[in-house]
Amino acid sequence: MAILDDLRRLEEDITATGGAVSGELIIGASTIPGAYILPKIAAAFKNEFPAISFEIRINDSARIVEEVAGNGLLIGIVGAKLPGVKLNYQHFAEDQLILAAAAANQTLSQITMEELCQLPFIVRERGSGTRKSLEMLLARQRYTLDQFNICATLGSSAAVKEAIKADLGVSVISKHAVLDELERGTIREIEVTGWSMMRSFFVVTSPKRTLPHHYQVFLNRLLSP
Protein backbone atom coordinates (compact mmCIF):
# COMPACT_ATOMS: atom_id res chain seq x y z
CA MET A 1 0.00 0.00 0.00
CA ALA A 2 2.88 2.36 0.68
CA ILE A 3 3.97 2.21 -2.96
CA LEU A 4 0.42 2.90 -4.16
CA ASP A 5 0.19 5.87 -1.81
CA ASP A 6 3.48 7.20 -3.16
CA LEU A 7 2.20 6.87 -6.72
CA ARG A 8 -1.00 8.73 -5.89
CA ARG A 9 1.04 11.55 -4.37
CA LEU A 10 3.23 11.69 -7.45
CA GLU A 11 0.19 11.90 -9.71
CA GLU A 12 -1.28 14.66 -7.56
CA ASP A 13 2.00 16.58 -7.74
CA ILE A 14 2.05 16.27 -11.52
CA THR A 15 -1.55 17.49 -11.82
CA ALA A 16 -0.69 20.46 -9.62
CA THR A 17 2.23 21.44 -11.87
CA GLY A 18 0.24 21.15 -15.08
CA GLY A 19 1.78 17.84 -16.16
CA ALA A 20 5.39 19.01 -16.01
CA VAL A 21 7.98 16.29 -16.59
CA SER A 22 9.90 16.27 -13.32
CA GLY A 23 10.91 13.91 -10.55
CA GLU A 24 13.19 10.92 -10.05
CA LEU A 25 13.21 7.98 -12.45
CA ILE A 26 14.35 4.71 -10.88
CA ILE A 27 15.11 2.34 -13.75
CA GLY A 28 16.31 -1.24 -13.41
CA ALA A 29 18.53 -2.69 -16.12
CA SER A 30 20.62 -5.75 -16.79
CA THR A 31 24.34 -5.24 -17.22
CA ILE A 32 24.68 -4.41 -20.92
CA PRO A 33 21.80 -1.95 -21.35
CA GLY A 34 22.43 -0.51 -17.89
CA ALA A 35 26.12 0.14 -18.42
CA TYR A 36 26.40 0.84 -22.14
CA ILE A 37 23.03 2.00 -23.55
CA LEU A 38 20.85 3.55 -20.86
CA PRO A 39 23.30 6.27 -19.68
CA LYS A 40 23.26 7.94 -23.12
CA ILE A 41 19.47 7.83 -23.26
CA ALA A 42 19.28 9.22 -19.72
CA ALA A 43 21.62 12.08 -20.64
CA ALA A 44 19.52 13.05 -23.66
CA PHE A 45 16.30 12.86 -21.64
CA LYS A 46 17.81 14.92 -18.82
CA ASN A 47 18.93 17.52 -21.36
CA GLU A 48 15.35 17.84 -22.60
CA PHE A 49 13.79 17.72 -19.13
CA PRO A 50 16.24 19.28 -16.63
CA ALA A 51 13.96 18.66 -13.64
CA ILE A 52 14.39 14.88 -14.06
CA SER A 53 16.92 12.87 -12.05
CA PHE A 54 17.90 9.22 -12.52
CA GLU A 55 18.78 6.23 -10.42
CA ILE A 56 19.88 3.28 -12.57
CA ARG A 57 19.93 -0.04 -10.71
CA ILE A 58 21.99 -2.70 -12.46
CA ASN A 59 21.47 -6.39 -11.81
CA ASP A 60 21.05 -9.58 -13.82
CA SER A 61 17.96 -9.94 -16.00
CA ALA A 62 16.28 -12.44 -13.67
CA ARG A 63 16.59 -10.12 -10.68
CA ILE A 64 15.31 -7.08 -12.63
CA VAL A 65 12.25 -9.03 -13.82
CA GLU A 66 11.59 -10.19 -10.24
CA GLU A 67 11.80 -6.58 -9.02
CA VAL A 68 9.26 -5.42 -11.62
CA ALA A 69 6.95 -8.35 -10.82
CA GLY A 70 7.23 -7.59 -7.10
CA ASN A 71 6.56 -3.86 -7.57
CA GLY A 72 10.08 -2.90 -6.54
CA LEU A 73 10.63 -1.28 -9.95
CA LEU A 74 8.25 0.36 -12.40
CA ILE A 75 10.45 -0.07 -15.50
CA GLY A 76 13.17 -2.59 -16.26
CA ILE A 77 15.34 -3.20 -19.31
CA VAL A 78 16.51 -6.78 -19.77
CA GLY A 79 18.12 -9.11 -22.27
CA ALA A 80 15.86 -12.11 -21.73
CA LYS A 81 12.24 -12.96 -20.96
CA LEU A 82 11.51 -15.07 -17.91
CA PRO A 83 8.89 -17.81 -18.33
CA GLY A 84 6.00 -17.97 -15.90
CA VAL A 85 6.01 -14.27 -14.98
CA LYS A 86 3.08 -12.29 -16.44
CA LEU A 87 4.63 -8.97 -17.41
CA ASN A 88 4.62 -6.72 -20.45
CA TYR A 89 7.76 -7.15 -22.59
CA GLN A 90 8.22 -4.57 -25.36
CA HIS A 91 11.07 -4.67 -27.85
CA PHE A 92 13.67 -2.01 -27.08
CA ALA A 93 16.83 -2.63 -29.12
CA GLU A 94 18.89 -5.24 -30.95
CA ASP A 95 22.22 -6.44 -29.61
CA GLN A 96 24.98 -8.31 -31.40
CA LEU A 97 26.80 -10.98 -29.44
CA ILE A 98 30.30 -11.90 -30.59
CA LEU A 99 32.84 -14.57 -29.79
CA ALA A 100 35.72 -12.64 -28.26
CA ALA A 101 39.31 -13.65 -27.58
CA ALA A 102 42.49 -12.01 -26.36
CA ALA A 103 44.56 -10.33 -29.06
CA ALA A 104 47.36 -12.81 -28.37
CA ASN A 105 45.07 -15.85 -28.56
CA GLN A 106 46.21 -18.16 -31.36
CA THR A 107 42.72 -19.35 -32.38
CA LEU A 108 41.93 -18.85 -36.06
CA SER A 109 39.77 -15.87 -37.03
CA GLN A 110 37.02 -18.24 -38.22
CA ILE A 111 36.09 -21.55 -36.58
CA THR A 112 33.28 -24.11 -36.58
CA MET A 113 30.92 -24.91 -33.71
CA GLU A 114 32.76 -28.18 -33.18
CA GLU A 115 36.04 -26.31 -32.79
CA LEU A 116 34.43 -23.79 -30.43
CA CYS A 117 33.35 -26.59 -28.11
CA GLN A 118 37.01 -27.56 -27.62
CA LEU A 119 38.23 -24.09 -26.57
CA PRO A 120 38.45 -22.95 -22.93
CA PHE A 121 35.16 -21.08 -22.57
CA ILE A 122 34.04 -18.40 -20.08
CA VAL A 123 30.34 -18.07 -19.21
CA ARG A 124 28.21 -15.64 -17.21
CA GLU A 125 26.36 -16.72 -14.08
CA ARG A 126 22.87 -18.26 -14.13
CA GLY A 127 20.26 -15.50 -14.29
CA SER A 128 22.34 -13.40 -16.67
CA GLY A 129 20.50 -12.28 -19.81
CA THR A 130 23.66 -12.86 -21.84
CA ARG A 131 23.82 -16.46 -20.63
CA LYS A 132 20.12 -17.02 -21.30
CA SER A 133 20.48 -15.60 -24.82
CA LEU A 134 23.55 -17.77 -25.42
CA GLU A 135 21.68 -20.89 -24.31
CA MET A 136 18.80 -20.07 -26.67
CA LEU A 137 21.16 -19.42 -29.59
CA LEU A 138 22.98 -22.68 -28.91
CA ALA A 139 19.68 -24.58 -28.78
CA ARG A 140 18.91 -23.42 -32.33
CA GLN A 141 22.16 -25.07 -33.38
CA ARG A 142 21.29 -28.17 -31.29
CA TYR A 143 24.05 -27.53 -28.78
CA THR A 144 24.09 -26.97 -25.02
CA LEU A 145 26.67 -25.49 -22.66
CA ASP A 146 27.25 -29.02 -21.33
CA GLN A 147 29.13 -29.70 -24.57
CA PHE A 148 31.52 -26.79 -23.98
CA ASN A 149 34.89 -26.77 -22.23
CA ILE A 150 33.85 -24.28 -19.53
CA CYS A 151 36.87 -22.91 -17.68
CA ALA A 152 35.20 -20.15 -15.62
CA THR A 153 31.81 -18.78 -14.59
CA LEU A 154 31.89 -15.05 -13.85
CA GLY A 155 29.37 -12.61 -12.42
CA SER A 156 29.70 -9.55 -14.65
CA SER A 157 30.58 -8.45 -18.17
CA ALA A 158 33.52 -6.49 -16.74
CA ALA A 159 34.94 -9.66 -15.19
CA VAL A 160 34.43 -11.56 -18.44
CA LYS A 161 36.28 -8.84 -20.37
CA GLU A 162 39.25 -8.95 -18.02
CA ALA A 163 39.36 -12.75 -18.21
CA ILE A 164 39.29 -12.61 -22.01
CA LYS A 165 42.12 -10.05 -22.09
CA ALA A 166 44.14 -12.26 -19.73
CA ASP A 167 43.58 -15.14 -22.20
CA LEU A 168 41.84 -17.33 -19.63
CA GLY A 169 39.51 -18.38 -22.42
CA VAL A 170 37.12 -17.14 -25.08
CA SER A 171 33.57 -15.98 -24.46
CA VAL A 172 30.38 -14.82 -26.13
CA ILE A 173 29.77 -11.23 -25.06
CA SER A 174 27.81 -8.19 -26.22
CA LYS A 175 29.68 -6.13 -28.78
CA HIS A 176 28.54 -3.04 -26.85
CA ALA A 177 30.69 -4.21 -23.92
CA VAL A 178 33.92 -4.57 -25.89
CA LEU A 179 33.80 -1.75 -28.46
CA ASP A 180 36.71 0.10 -26.82
CA GLU A 181 38.77 -3.08 -26.52
CA LEU A 182 38.14 -3.98 -30.16
CA GLU A 183 39.25 -0.51 -31.24
CA ARG A 184 42.39 -0.67 -29.07
CA GLY A 185 43.18 -4.17 -30.26
CA THR A 186 43.26 -5.79 -26.81
CA ILE A 187 40.36 -8.07 -27.76
CA ARG A 188 39.56 -9.53 -31.17
CA GLU A 189 36.48 -11.10 -32.67
CA ILE A 190 36.34 -14.69 -33.90
CA GLU A 191 33.70 -15.64 -36.46
CA VAL A 192 31.79 -18.88 -35.93
CA THR A 193 30.77 -20.43 -39.26
CA GLY A 194 27.02 -20.39 -39.84
CA TRP A 195 26.15 -18.83 -36.48
CA SER A 196 24.44 -15.42 -36.33
CA MET A 197 24.37 -14.14 -32.76
CA MET A 198 21.71 -11.46 -32.44
CA ARG A 199 19.38 -10.91 -29.51
CA SER A 200 16.80 -8.38 -28.35
CA PHE A 201 16.59 -6.15 -25.31
CA PHE A 202 13.15 -5.62 -23.80
CA VAL A 203 11.47 -2.97 -21.68
CA VAL A 204 9.52 -4.79 -18.99
CA THR A 205 6.61 -3.31 -17.04
CA SER A 206 3.78 -4.70 -14.93
CA PRO A 207 0.29 -4.81 -16.48
CA LYS A 208 -1.10 -4.14 -13.00
CA ARG A 209 0.60 -0.77 -12.57
CA THR A 210 -0.25 2.67 -13.91
CA LEU A 211 2.93 4.65 -14.51
CA PRO A 212 3.33 8.17 -13.12
CA HIS A 213 3.47 10.85 -15.79
CA HIS A 214 7.26 11.26 -15.90
CA TYR A 215 7.73 7.47 -16.11
CA GLN A 216 5.23 7.26 -18.97
CA VAL A 217 6.99 10.04 -20.88
CA PHE A 218 10.32 8.24 -20.44
CA LEU A 219 8.81 4.90 -21.48
CA ASN A 220 7.40 6.51 -24.63
CA ARG A 221 10.85 7.87 -25.41
CA LEU A 222 12.45 4.44 -24.91
CA LEU A 223 10.00 2.82 -27.30
CA SER A 224 9.94 5.54 -29.96
CA PRO A 225 11.60 4.56 -33.29
Give CA–CA dist 88/77, Å, rounded: 11
Give CA–CA dist 179/11, Å, rounded: 41
Q: What type of residue sits at position 123?
A: V
Q: Write down the architecture of domain 2-93+200-223 according to CATH.
A: 3-Layer(aba) Sandwich (3.40)
Give CA–CA dist 72/26, Å, rounded: 10
Domains 2-93+200-223 and 95-198 share a fold: yes
Going by pLDDT thresholds of 50, 70 and 90, the confidence category of residue 8 is: low
User: Long-range pairs for 178-186 at CB < 8 Å and ≥24 separation?
Assistant: 178/98, 178/100, 185/103, 186/102, 186/103
Asked if pLDDT for residue 14 goes beyond 50, the answer is: no
pLDDT tens-digit series, residues 197-218: 999 999 999 999 999 999 999 9
- The neighbour count for residue 50, using CB atoms within 10 Å, is 9
Q: What type of residue sits at position 23?
A: G
Mean pLDDT across 87-93: 95
Hey, where are the domains in the chain?
2-93+200-223, 95-198
The pTM assigned to this predicted structure is: 0.80
pLDDT tens-digit series, residues 109-162: 999 999 999 999 999 999 888 899 999 999 999 999 999 999 999 999 999 999
User: Long-range pairs for 47-50 at CB < 8 Å and ≥24 separation?
Assistant: 49/21, 49/22, 49/214, 49/217
At the top level of CATH, which class does the domain 95-198 belong to?
A: alpha beta
Closest listed residue to residue 127, CA positions, set 31, 26, 19 = 31
